[in-house]
C-alpha cells in the first residue's frame, strides 16, 4: 500500500534528546555571523574540530581562526563542504543556501541544525548552561518561543547555584564538615553557598537560631540533629556537638553544621573547627550575615552613619559586667562615641546600663531593642540608656534580641 498522506499534516513527534560527544570530530559551520559565532563557541567547548565556511566572519570567529582553533574556508557554501562531517550547522543569511546545506546533510546522513528553520532541521540546538559538573539543556516544541527555553534553563541553573533546587552529588562527594552561617533567621538571608551546601548534606546539625525553615526542603533521608541551646534551659553540650560532627564525617557523611548569624561571632564556631581539624576531618567555613549588623539594618537603623557614628562595637552580654569571667572593659566602652551592639544581653540590661552610666555614658543615649529580628515575631522597642532595662521588662522582651546603644538608634 502506498500512502499519499501529506507529511505536513502528520502529528508532530517528540524530539529525542541526546548528548553528542564531538571531541576530536569534524563539525562544519556554514556562515560567519553572530549565530555562527555562538555555535562555534559551544562546539569548541565540546572539543570539536570546527571548520567554518563563509566569505566573511565576525571578529570573534576570526579570533578563533587566528588562535588556530578553527579552520576557515573563506567563500560561500559549495556542495561537498560537509565531507567527513559528523554534524553541520547551517547559519547563513540565505534560506536557499541553508536548504541546500540541509539537503546535503540529509543525503550524507549527517545531522544538521538550520538557524533559520527549525522544521527543516534534523537537530535542534537547546538552551544550554552548566554548573558544578552538570549540563542543563532545554528543548521546547517546534513552535515554542526559544526565549521560554532560555528562561527555563536560567531558572534551573539559578536553583542549582542557590541550592533551592536540591541536586545532591552521589558520586565523588567527599565526606567532611561545612560550618555554615545561616544569617539572622529569615531563610532568604542565608548565603548562596550556604544554601547550596545545605542541599548537599547527608547530616545537618542545626542550632535553634538557624534558618530552620530550610530544613523542610531537605529530602527525608537527611539526618537532622537538633543542637538547640535554650537560654537557661535545655542545651546540647558543645562536646557532644563536636563528637557528632566528627563521628558522622568519619562515617563517610557530608555534615552541615547550620548556625544562626555568623559562625565566628559568638557562635563557638572556631571550637568546632579545632575539633574537626584535630580529628583529621576536612572542614569548610561559610561565613554568614551576623545579626549584630543585619537585625538593626532590617529594623531601619544603620550601625554607622556619616557624621553620627564612625565605629561600632559588638559585645556579648552573656555574663554581667561584675562577673569574674567577664572580659569586657565596660568603662572603656562608656567613653566611645559610636555604636554599641549587645548580643545575649536581655537578662543583664540593668547591670550593663549601670556599668555604662558609671563610666560616664549619657543617660539619654538612644537605645533600640529588636526581638526575633527577621523572624515572623519581630518586635522593636525604642528607649534610652537610663530606662532601657525597665522598658524591656515592661514590654516583655525576651531572647533572642539585639540591643543597639548610640546616636544611630535615634535616627
Q: Tell me which residue of 153, 130, 44 sits closest to 89, measured CA to CA.
A: 44
Q: Computed from CA positions of residues 372, 375, 381, 385, in that sequence, does the dihedral angle turn out positive or negative? A: positive
In contact, 201 and 222? CB cutoff 8 Å: yes
The residue annotated as part of the active site, out of 94, 154, 229, 391, is 229
Element (H, E) at 81: none
- Given CA atoms 241, 245, 247, 248 in this order, what sign does their dihedral have? positive
Neighbours of 251 (CB within 10 A): 11
Alpha carbon distance 183, 380 (integer Å): 19
Element (H, E) at 389: helix 388-395
38's grid cell: 555562538
DSSP 8-state assignment for residue 335: T
Going by their DSSP bridges, the two strands 379-384 and 366-371 should be labelled as: antiparallel
Q: Is 176 left (phi over 0), alpha (psi -120 to 50) or beta?
A: left
The CA–CA distances, whole Å, from 72 to 54, 68, 183 equal 8, 10, 54
Q: Is 207 a catalytic residue?
A: yes
Task: At 315, list the grid cell.
Answer: 559585645
Longest dimension (CA), the chain: 106
Of the candidates 81, 207, 262, 372, the residue annotated as catalytic is: 207
Q: What angle do CA 330, 335, 341 make, to 5 degrees?
A: 60
What is the set of active-site residues? 207, 229
Amino acid at each position: 500500500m502506498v500512502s499519499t498522506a501529506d507529511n505536513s499534516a502528520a502529528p508532530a513527534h517528540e524530539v529525542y534528546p541526546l548528548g553528542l560527544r564531538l571531541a576530536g570530530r569534524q563539525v562544519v559551520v556554514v556562515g560567519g555571523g553572530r549565530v555562527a559565532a555562538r555555535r562555534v563557541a559551544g562546539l569548541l567547548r565540546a572539543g570539536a574540530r570546527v571548520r567554518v565556511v563563509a566569505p566573511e566572519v565576525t571578529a570573534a570567529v576570526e579570533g578563533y581562526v587566528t588562535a588556530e582553533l578553527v579552520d576557515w574556508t573563506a567563500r560561500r557554501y559549495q556542495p561537498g563542504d560537509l565531507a567527513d562531517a559528523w554534524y553541520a550547522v547551517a547559519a547563513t543569511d540565505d534560506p536557499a543556501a541553508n536548504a541546500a546545506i540541509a539537503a546535503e546533510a540529509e543525503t550524507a546522513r549527517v545531522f544538521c541544525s538550520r538557524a533559520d528553520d527549525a522544521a527543516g532541521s534534523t537537530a535542534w540546538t537547546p538552551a544550554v548552561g552548566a554548573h558544578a559538573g552538570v549540563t542543563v539543556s532545554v528543548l521546547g516544541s517546534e513552535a515554542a518561543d526559544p526565549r521560554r527555553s532560555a528562561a527555563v534553563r536560567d531558572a534551573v541553573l539559578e536553583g542549582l547555584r542557590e541550592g533551592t533546587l536540591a541536586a545532591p552529588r552521589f558520586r565523588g562527594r567527599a565526606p567532611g564538615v561545612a560550618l555554615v552561617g545561616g544569617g539572622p533567621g529569615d531563610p532568604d538571608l542565608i548565603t548562596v553557598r550556604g544554601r547550596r551546601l545545605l542541599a548537599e548534606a547527608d547530616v545537618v546539625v542545626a542550632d535553634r537560631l538557624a534558618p530552620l525553615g530550610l530544613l523542610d526542603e531537605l529530602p527525608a533521608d537527611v539526618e537532622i540533629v537538633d543542637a538547640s541551646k535554650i537560654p537557661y534551659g535545655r542545651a546540647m553540650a558543645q562536646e557532644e556537638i563536636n563528637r557528632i560532627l566528627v563521628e558522622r564525617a568519619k562515617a563517610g557523611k557530608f555534615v552541615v553544621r547550620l548556625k544562626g548569624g555568623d559562625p565566628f561571632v559568638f557562635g563557638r564556631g572556631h571550637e568546632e573547627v579545632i575539633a574537626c581539624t584535630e580529628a583529621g576531618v576536612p572542614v569548610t567555613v561559610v561565613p554568614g550575615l551576623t545579626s549584630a549588623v543585619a537585625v538593626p539594618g532590617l529594623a531601619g537603623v544603620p550601625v554607622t552613619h556619616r557624621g553620627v557614628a564612625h565605629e561600632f562595637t559588638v559585645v556579648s552580654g552573656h555574663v554581667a559586667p561584675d562577673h569574674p569571667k567577664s572580659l569586657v572593659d565596660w568603662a572603656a566602652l562608656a567613653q566611645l562615641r559610636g555604636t554599641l551592639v549587645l548580643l545575649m544581653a536581655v537578662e543583664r540590661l540593668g547591670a550593663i546600663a549601670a556599668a555604662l552610666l558609671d563610666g560616664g555614658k549619657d543617660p539619654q543615649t538612644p537605645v533600640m531593642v529588636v526581638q526575633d529580628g527577621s523572624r515572623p515575631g519581630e518586635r522593636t522597642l525604642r528607649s534610652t540608656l537610663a530606662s532601657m532595662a525597665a522598658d524591656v521588662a515592661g514590654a516583655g522582651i525576651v531572647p533572642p534580641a539585639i540591643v543597639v546603644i548610640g546616636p544611630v538608634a535615634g535616627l
